[in-house]
């Protein structure tokens, strides 16, 4: 459940001289174009289900840590009902908190606001995501039940929104919140250091201004990123194809001074 968007891109260019991808980049939150595929939750009769999660999730909503499998960043999950409109989710990996999320539905039932904490890096990343209801939940279910289309991410802490790249003679170095890789443009897989999800990265230089990164976990491709730097070198457009969920999102990053 690793936050979603700016957290793992890459860059291209040639040779030892500074290239268009060198430097620190920050996600422009109002540029994010979210996938049209909704998140689907059900909470009824004490059971919480996330049908859109990969793999799907079904656990008791009693606040206890329960073992789950197939999720790279948590191996136990807990769901606690706070009230009729609010639910809290907490994931742990090896007994250590890795992700938490508070989901709250508006009084009119049309808006879902999620406040999250991602503990997978050196510093905790915090942020907020807002979704609109596109389908109602089953009769008698909790307010979070139903289908939700993400519309915006009003905020995310700077440590989560920024990534730094440095070109080498034949590859790229990346640093995001203490997670790093040093990969070559040879299509081989390189492990992301300090990443609890054990992401392997392979890079392909499409052109001087475009790089494609393929991320693999547990032997399966999970994401393909295509990053393109503008001609003036000030912005980077990122297209993220989430292979597991079958979704595509897009956003821009601004080069920092």
**pLDDT, tens only, 102-156:** 999 999 999 999 999 999 999 999 999 999 999 999 999 999 999 999 999 999 9
17 burial level (CB within 10 Å; 0-12, 13-18, 19+)? exposed
Per-domain boundaries in the chain: 23-35+160-255, 39-158
pTM above 0.85, yes or no: yes
Other beta carbons within 10 angstroms of residue 244's beta carbon come to 13
pLDDT exceeds cutoff 50 at 4: no
- 188's CB contacts (< 8 A; 6+ apart) are 202
The radius of gyration of the chain's CA atoms, rounded to the nearest angstrom, is: 19
For 81, 106, 114, 144, 221, the CA distances from 84, given in Å and listed in that order, are 8, 11, 15, 9, 38
More confident residue, 241 or 5: 241
DSSP type of residue 198: -
pLDDT of residue 18: 66
Is the pLDDT at 174 greater than 60, yes or no? yes
Judged against a pLDDT cut of 50, whether residue 221 lies above it is answered with: yes
Q: Do domains 23-35+160-255 and 39-158 have the same CATH topology?
A: yes
Q: Is residue 9 very low, low, confident or very high in pLDDT (cuts 50, 70, 90)?
A: very low
Q: What is the CATH number of domain 23-35+160-255?
A: 2.40.128.20
**Tens digit of each residue's pLDDT (9 = 90 or more) over 73-113:** 999 999 999 999 999 999 999 999 999 999 999 999 999 99
| Range 161-170 average pLDDT | 95
Mean pLDDT of the chain: 93
Level-2 CATH architecture, domain 39-158: Beta Barrel (2.40)
What integer is the mean pLDDT of 159-177? Answer: 96
């Amino acid at each position: 459940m690793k936050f979603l968007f700016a957290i793992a891109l890459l860059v291209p260019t040639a040779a030892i001289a500074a290239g268009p991808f060198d430097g620190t980049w920050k996600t422009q939150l109002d540029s994010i174009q979210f996938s049209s595929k909704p998140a689907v939750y059900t909470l009824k009769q004490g059971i919480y289900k996330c049908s859109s999660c990969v793999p799907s999730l079904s656990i008791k909503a009693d606040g206890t840590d329960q073992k789950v499998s197939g999720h790279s960043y948590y191996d136990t999950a807990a769901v606690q009902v706070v009230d009729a409109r609010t639910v809290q989710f907490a994931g742990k990996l090896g007994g250590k908190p890795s992700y938490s999320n508070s989901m709250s539905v508006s009084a009119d039932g049309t808006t879902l606001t999620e406040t999250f904490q991602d503990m997978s890096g050196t510093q905790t990343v915090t942020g907020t995501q807002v979704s609109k209801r596109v389908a109602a939940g089953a009769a008698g279910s909790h307010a979070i039940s139903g289908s939700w289309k993400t519309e915006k991410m009003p905020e995310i802490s700077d440590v989560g929104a920024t990534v730094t790249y440095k070109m080498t003679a034949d590859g790229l170095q990346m640093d995001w919140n203490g997670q790093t890789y040093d990969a070559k443009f040879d299509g081989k897989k390189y492990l992301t250091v300090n990443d609890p999800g054990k992401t392997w990265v392979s890079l392909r230089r499409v052109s001087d201004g475009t790089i494609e990164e393929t991320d693999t976990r547990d032997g399966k491709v999970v994401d393909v990123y295509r990053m393109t730097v503008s001609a003036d070198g000030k912005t980077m457009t990122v297209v993220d194809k989430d292979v597991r969920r079958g979704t595509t999102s897009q956003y821009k990053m601004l080069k920092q001074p």
